[in-house]
Amino acid sequence: MKKPHLFPDRAAVAERHAALVRPGIGSRLATLAVVGGMAALALFAFGRLEFSLARLGTGLAQLGTFLGLMVPPSPGGQAPLFLKALAETVAIAFLGTLLAAILAFPLGFLAARGTIGTWLTRQLTRRFSDTVRGVDTLIWALIWINVVGLGPFAGVLAIMTSDIGSFTKLFSEAIEAADPKPREGVLSCGATNLGGLRFGLLPEVLPVFLSQVLYYFESNTRSATIIGIVGAGGIGLHLAEMIRTYEWDRVSFIIIMVLVTVAAIDFLSTKLRLGLTGSRRVTA
């Protein structure tokens, strides 16, 4: 028995959407021009950046040598020092993320449409967020090191500054995507605008905020390792020193420590996100 077609009248469908089924010559030429332009740009980049398969092969062989020197991992009698530095890295990530979330909380409402503030305050907040977010955490670390000196305080400030812009954008988008009906219901009972935000909007978006903060805490643990290399405290300074002195067994030990820590934070934050947002919203 012949199966019925998904679209019984294919001719009618093709006629109704002729531009999609049979695109015109102009559309085809535009597609070819875009694809050709991207291919030309890729070829130019390969040539300009001196991409070489021979150098890549040599580098991979050298990488294999380094990996061999990393086995077996060994702290070299410096395990307590490395553990203390790793705890400092986690503390930098936690405090920087927490401060950024606290400062970005009101900014998210200012940047969102239909909440508080005027068009001018919304635009100024968004442009501030874009500017801060456009500078990488490593650059902020270098700036704060020159301002407050070397150490973990500069690392906390670097992560905090970088994440303020990201949190402001994420919080405002979550607010704009929220269902307006609970807030409208609160306002219809005679509540003020702030009351509508507090009792109608905030309970809906707060679990999303917390989920985003937990994810950034996990991500910032890795970032705190990198900024430590430039002197912002944490395990990164020891990692850079071990690489500089070719202590590859200690390098692998530090890397394993960081990976285990990040995996543990990921596991715990996933459990917390599931508890905050519900298993139907977030899946592990």
**Residue 278 pLDDT:** 60
- Count of the separate structural domains present in the chain: 2
**Which of these three, 69, 96, 116, is where a domain ends?**
69
* Amino acid 65: pLDDT: 80
Answer yes or no: is 186 within a domain: yes
Q: Are residues 131 and 182 in the same domain?
A: yes
Cα–Cα distance for residue pair 111/118, rounded to 1 Å: 10
Q: Residue 233 belongs to what domain range?
A: 79-277
pLDDT at 238: 87
**What's the CA gap between 63 and 71, in Å, rounded?**
13
Whether residue 92 sits in one domain with residue 224: yes
| Count of C-beta atoms within a 10 Å radius of residue 269 | 18
Q: What residues contact 57, with CB distance under 8 A and at least 6 apart?
A: none
For residues 102 and 65, membership in a common domain is answered with no
pLDDT in tens, 149-166: 888 899 999 999 999 999
pLDDT digits (tens, 9 = 90+) for 210-254: 888 988 998 888 888 888 888 888 888 888 888 888 888 888 999
Same structural domain, 157 and 238: yes
Residues 65 and 201 both lie in one domain: no
**Does any domain span residue 44?**
yes
Q: Is the residue at 227 inside a domain?
A: yes
What is the C-alpha to C-alpha distance for residues 270 and 268, in angstroms, rounded to an integer? 5
Is residue 104 in a domain? yes
CATH code, domain with 179:
1.10.3720.10
Count the Cβ atoms, other than its own, within 10 Å of residue 209: 20
Same domain, yes or no, for 154 and 21? no
At 50, the amino acid letter reads E
Residues 206 and 248 in one domain: yes
The whole-angstrom separation of Cα 42 and Cα 260 is: 37
Tell me if 152 is assigned to some domain.
yes
pLDDT value at residue 20: 62
Does 5 map to a domain?
no
266 and 132 within one domain: yes
Q: What is the pLDDT of residue 11?
A: 64
- Region of 149 on the Ramachandran plot (φ > 0 left; ψ -120 to 50 alpha; else beta): left
Q: Mark which of 51, 69, 87 sits at the end of a domain.
A: 69
284 belongs to a structural domain: no
- Asked if 88 and 47 sit in the same domain, the reply is no
Instruction: Report the pLDDT value the prediction gives residue 232, as an integer from 0 to 100.
Output: 82
Please check whether residue 2 lies inside any domain of the structure: no
Same-domain status, 46 and 116: no
Question: For residue 67, what are its two tokens?
Answer: 């990996």
Point out the residues of the chain with pLDDT beneath 50: 1, 279-284
In this prediction, residue 163 carries a pLDDT of 92
Model pLDDT, residue 68: 81
Same-domain check for residues 57 and 159:
no
Residue after which a domain boundary falls, among 69, 96, 115: 69
Comparing C-alpha atoms, which of 128, 126, 110 is closest to residue 118?
110
pLDDT at 144: 92
pLDDT confidence of residue 212? 87
Please check whether residues 128 and 154 belong to one and the same domain: yes
* Whole-number Cα distances in Å, 237 to 85, 211, 224, 225, 243: 9, 30, 10, 8, 10
